Structure formats: structure tokens, C-alpha cells
Amino acid sequence: MKGELARIHPARDCCRRAELHGLVHGSARSQVRTLDHATARTAVLLATSLDIPTDAPRWLVGDARGRTRPSRHHIVVEVPAEALGRWSWEDAPLCDRRSFLRGALLGSGSISFGLSGPHVEFVHRTADAGESLAALMAAMNVRTLRAERRGHHVVYLKGHEEITTLLGLVGANRGVLELETQRVGRDVRARLNRLVNAEQANLGRTVRAADRQLAAIEMLERDGSLSRMAPALRETAAHRRRMPDADLDTLASALGVSRSAMNHRLRRLVELASQEEA
């Protein structure tokens, strides 16, 4: 999804400036620091198109606390604050606001997919940056939550609707389609699981009921009671013994009676066997 967002090139200078402000949002040094090459390239392209001087991207060896993490080197793009200028959300049109959120998602956001669904979060170094981003997204009808983690201030989205709304605002149309595809897939799998579980439960009940009925028929035949019963009960017992795995519908169809009638006959056989045993 970040690759899709990085390939969006705003046509207007105002949108490019807004996106660049979003990229550096929450950065105390007015810089873009990312693990993503496409994000760093976007920052350079935006700054160049606005005639904002910037040095070539550099690798940052070690994290903010000076610890070396060779597998997670960041790419840093310096964006001079004085050249970037001021930008106001209140005075910005809708296209600029959407560009700002796209830059914020590229610069400080991350998207992940888990068993519980999609998760989007923005990590900031200051509480003010987190509060302001949460307020800005609330103005666009995107509900967020906040947390503090290892000294960083996190703004995150958990609901499918909120994440879909955000991705639609920033222009990640393929991302929205992917989310919808995953949601439909989860719904279909959940429905299939419910159907399979229900079928297994029904099959288990059918097998247990058939075992009780066959045991009752064997008992009635041993003591001679079965031969003295009504023809309908003898016929039902014979069909149950010929089709030990059949369900009620199959037995009823074989005898040409209703399901309730078949159920009543089988229940009567079990009751008579219980009385004989007592």
C-alpha cells in the first residue's frame, strides 16, 4: 500500500507542499526518516518539485538512543523547515488535507495485517504531534485511538471502516480493494466454518441417536417384544437396521411417511426398550 501511495504524484504545488508537511509531521528535526526506499524517494521528489534544497538521502546507523541496529538502518532526508514554510490545516482545501494525510501515512505510519484484521498506526516522538494528528483525522471523520509505547506516542486505527475511510482519503484505491477482498474472504471462511461445525454437530447427533435406536431394537428383538408390536413399528425397526447410518429424512422417504412420524416411531421404540429394561 505504501508503494501505491508513493506512486501518486500530486499535480498542484499546494498538494505537494501539503504532502511534504505530512511527511515531516512529528519530526523534531524537520526530516523524513524511514525504512522504505519509496517514501524517501517521494520526499526528495516533492522537495525538488517545490525548489526546496535538500541533501542526498543518507543512512542513519543506529537508532535515536545511539544503539546500532544493522538490520534496520533508516534512510534520512533532511527538509529545511525555513524553506518548507508554514502550512495551515484550517485554511487548506480538501485536496491539500488528503495530501497531508497521505504524507503522514508514508512518513510515520505503518500498515499490518493480522488474524484480527488490519491495523494502522502512526508513531510520533512528541505527544503534541500525536494529539494534532488525531484531531486532524477526527475532522475527516476518521476515529482514532492513542497509546504510549516505549517513549513514543502512537495514534492507531483498529476498525475496518476507519481504515478503509483513511485509505480512501489518501488515494490508496487498490489498498481499499485489497481490504474489501480480505474482509469478504474472512466472512466466507467464517460462514463455511459455521456450516461445517453445524453439519458435524448434526452428524454427531444423528449417529448417537441411531446407536440408541439400534440398541433398543436389538433388546426388543431378544425378548420377543418386537414381533408383537404394530406393523408400523416393526417396519420402522427393519428399515433402521437396514440403514443404520441414515438420518430421519432418508428413513422417512424410504417408508413414505413424514419426518415427524418417523421420529415418533423411533422414539417409541426407544421408550418401549427402556420400559422392558426397567
Q: What is the pLDDT of residues 186-229, one digit of tens each?
A: 889 889 999 999 989 988 888 899 999 999 999 998 888 888 89
Q: Is residue 40 located within the same domain as residue 143? A: yes
Ordered DSSP codes for 105-156: HHHHEEEEEETTEEEEEEEESSHHHHHHHHHHHHHTT---EEEEETTEEEEE
Residue 153: HSE in the Cβ half-sphere, 13 Å Cα cutoff: 15
Q: Is residue 50 located within the same domain as residue 15? A: yes
Which of 149, 171, 193 is the endpoint of a domain? 171
Question: Is 176 contained in some domain?
Answer: no
pLDDT of residue 151: 83
Q: Which residues contact 276 (CB under 8 A, 6 or more apart)?
A: 219, 220, 223, 225
Which of 171, 198, 232 is the endpoint of a domain? 171
Question: Is 249 contained in some domain?
Answer: yes
Question: Is 140 contained in some domain?
Answer: yes
Cell of 2: 505504501
Mean pLDDT of 109-124: 83
Please give the residue range of the domain that contains residue 213. Answer: 185-277
Give the model's confidence band at 68: pLDDT under 50 very low, under 70 low, under 90 confident, else very high.
very low
Q: Is residue 84 located within the same domain as residue 216? A: no
Whether 63 contacts 69, CB under 8 Å? yes
pTM given for the model: 0.66
One-letter identity of residue 238: A
Q: Is residue 82 located within the same domain as residue 125? A: yes
Question: Is 257 contained in some domain?
Answer: yes
Q: Is residue 67 located within the same domain as residue 136? A: yes
Q: Is residue 105 located within the same domain as residue 158? A: yes
Q: Is the pLDDT of residue 182 over 60?
A: yes
Q: Is residue 109 located within the same domain as residue 53? A: yes
Give the model's confidence band at 118: pLDDT under 50 very low, under 70 low, under 90 confident, else very high.
confident
Which of 142, 171, 200 is the endpoint of a domain? 171
Question: Is 11 contained in some domain?
Answer: yes
Q: Is residue 215 located within the same domain as residue 140? A: no
Phi, psi of 262 (to 5 degrees): -65, -40
Give the model's confidence band at 64: pLDDT under 50 very low, under 70 low, under 90 confident, else very high.
very low
Q: Is residue 113 located within the same domain as residue 22? A: yes
CATH number of the domain where residue 41 is located: 3.10.28.10
Name which of 29, 26, 19, 88 is nearest 55 in CA terms. Answer: 29
Q: What mean pLDDT, rounded, does the chain reach? A: 86
Q: E strands of 140-248, at which residues?
A: 145-149, 152-157
Give the model's confidence band at 27: pLDDT under 50 very low, under 70 low, under 90 confident, else very high.
confident
CA distances 45 to 24, 55, 76, 88, 150, Å, are: 14, 12, 14, 22, 32
Question: Counting every residue, how long is the chain?
Answer: 278
Name which of 45, 168, 51, 43 is nearest 108 in CA terms. Answer: 43
Question: Is 242 contained in some domain?
Answer: yes
Question: Is 28 contained in some domain?
Answer: yes
d(CA 272, CA 278): 10
Whether 124 contacts 135, CB under 8 Å? no
pLDDT of residue 62: 53
Q: Is the pLDDT of residue 106 over 50?
A: yes
Give the model's confidence band at 60: pLDDT under 50 very low, under 70 low, under 90 confident, else very high.
low
Domain count, the chain: 2
Q: Is the pLDDT of residue 237 over 60?
A: yes
Q: Is residue 106 located within the same domain as residue 244? A: no
- CA end-to-end span of the chain, whole Å? 72
Whether 173 contacts 181, CB under 8 Å? no
Q: Is residue 134 located within the same domain as residue 250? A: no
Q: Is residue 98 located within the same domain as residue 138? A: yes
